[in-house]
Chain A
Amino acid sequence: MFKTIYVEEAVAHHPRTQATLARFSDAQRIPCKHYGEVFNRAAQNFRLQKRQPSLILAEKRGQRVLPTPAGYGIGSQTNFYFSHMLNCLYDCRYCFLQGMYRSAHMVIFINYEDFYEAIDEQIEQTSTERPYFFSGYDCDSLALEGITDFTRDFLTFFAQRPHATLELRTKSVRTHSLLDRDPLDNCVVAFSLTPAAIADVLEIGAPPVARRIESLGTLADRGWPIGLRFDPLLYHRNWREHYRDLFEAVFARLRIDRLHSVSLGQFRLPQTMYKRMQQLYPDEPLFAWGLAEKDGQISYRSELAESLHAFCRDELLQHIDPTIFFPCPSTTLNDGVAP
Chain B
Amino acid sequence: MLYIHTALPAEARPIIDHYALRAHDASAPFSLYTGPQTRLVVSGVGKTATAAAIAYTCARFSDQPGPWLNVGIAGHKTAALGTALWVQKTVDTATNTPFFPALALSPPCAGSVLQTVDQPRVDYLTDALYDMEGSAFFQTAQRFVAAELAHSVKIVSDNSEAPWQSLNRERVQGWINDLLPVIERMRTELESLAAVWLIQQANPPHFEGTLSRCRFSQTQKNRLRRLLQQWHSVAPDMSPWPPDHAEESAAGLLDALEARLGDSSHLPY
Cβ-defined contact, B111 with A278, below 8 A: no
Known A48-B104, A49-B104: A288·B111 in contact at CB below 8 Å: no
Complex: A46 Cα to B255 Cα, angstroms: 31
Contact of B234 among A52, A103, A285 (CB under 8 A): A285
Cβ-defined contact, B267 with A290, below 8 A: yes
Q: Of A10-18, A35-43, A114-122, A124-132, which binds chain B?
A: A35-43
Q: Of B58-66, B75-83, B164-172, B224-232, which binds chain A?
A: B224-232
Cβ-defined contact, A47 with B196, below 8 A: yes
Contact of A282 among B105, B146, B204, B262 (CB under 8 A): B204
Question: Taking CB as reference atom, which chain B residue is nearest A103?
Answer: B102
Cβ-defined contact, A289 with B261, below 8 A: yes
Complex: A40 Cα to B199 Cα, angstroms: 21
Contact of B269 among A51, A54, A237 (CB under 8 A): A237
Cβ-defined contact, A283 with B106, below 8 A: no
User: CB-CB < 8 A to A4: which residues of B?
Assistant: 103, 107
Residue A284 lies at the interface, judged by CB distance under 8 Å to chain B: yes
Question: Taking CB as reference atom, which chain B residue is nearest A37?
Answer: B100
User: CB-CB < 8 A to B226: which residues of A?
Assistant: 278
Cβ-defined contact, A30 with B89, below 8 A: yes
CB of B207, distance to nearest CB on chain A (Å): 11
Cβ-defined contact, A286 with B148, below 8 A: no
Question: Taking CB as reference atom, which chain A residue is nearest B144?
Answer: A43
Cβ-defined contact, A288 with B200, below 8 A: no
Complex: A54 Cα to B101 Cα, angstroms: 12
Residue B36 lies at the interface, judged by CB distance under 8 Å to chain A: no
Complex: A33 Cα to B100 Cα, angstroms: 11
Cβ-defined contact, B229 with A41, below 8 A: no
Question: Which of B98, B148, B202 is the most central at the interface, judged by chain A CB atoms within 10 Å of its CB?
Answer: B148
- Looking at chain A's contact residues, is the secondary structure mostly helix, strand, loop, or mixed? loop
Cβ-defined contact, A290 with B232, below 8 A: no
User: CB-CB < 8 A to A202: which residues of B?
Assistant: 269
Known A282-B200, A289-B261: A52·B98 in contact at CB below 8 Å: no
Complex: A279 Cα to B233 Cα, angstroms: 12
Cβ-defined contact, A235 with B267, below 8 A: yes
Known A28-B111, A282-B233: A289·B262 in contact at CB below 8 Å: yes
CB of B77, distance to nearest CB on chain A (Å): 17
Complex: A6 Cα to B107 Cα, angstroms: 13
Question: Which of A47, A202, A279 is the most central at the interface, judged by chain B CB atoms within 10 Å of its CB?
Answer: A47
Known A45-B146, A282-B199, A282-B229: A236·B267 in contact at CB below 8 Å: yes
Question: Taking CB as reference atom, which chain B residue is nearest A280?
Answer: B200
User: CB-CB < 8 A to B149: which residues of A?
Assistant: 48
Cβ-defined contact, A289 with B147, below 8 A: no
User: CB-CB < 8 A to A54: which residues of B?
Assistant: 103
Residue B242 lies at the interface, judged by CB distance under 8 Å to chain A: no
Question: Taking CB as reference atom, which chain A residue is nearest B189?
Answer: A52
CB of B105, distance to nearest CB on chain A (Å): 6
Cβ-defined contact, B111 with A48, below 8 A: no
User: CB-CB < 8 A to A43: which residues of B?
Assistant: 102, 142-143, 146-147
Cβ-defined contact, B268 with A283, below 8 A: no
Known A47-B196, A48-B148: A30·B267 in contact at CB below 8 Å: no
CB of B109, distance to nearest CB on chain A (Å): 10
Known A30-B89, A287-B230, A289-B267: A44·B148 in contact at CB below 8 Å: yes
Chain A contact residues, CB within 8 Å of chain B: 3-4, 6, 28, 30, 32-33, 37-38, 41-45, 47-49, 51-54, 103, 105, 197-198, 201-202, 234-237, 278-280, 282-290, 301
Chain B contact residues, CB within 8 Å of chain A: 88-89, 98, 100, 102-107, 110-111, 142-143, 146-149, 192-193, 196-197, 199-200, 202, 204, 226, 229-234, 261-262, 266-269
For the complex with contacts A28-B111, A49-B102, 14 further pairs of A-B residues with Cβ separation under 8 Å are A3-B106, A28-B88, A33-B98, A38-B100, A41-B100, A43-B143, A45-B102, A48-B102, A48-B193, A49-B103, A49-B148, A282-B200, A286-B268, A289-B267
Return the 6 tightest CB-CB contacts between A and B, nearest first. A285-B268, A288-B230, A236-B269, A43-B147, A45-B146, A48-B148
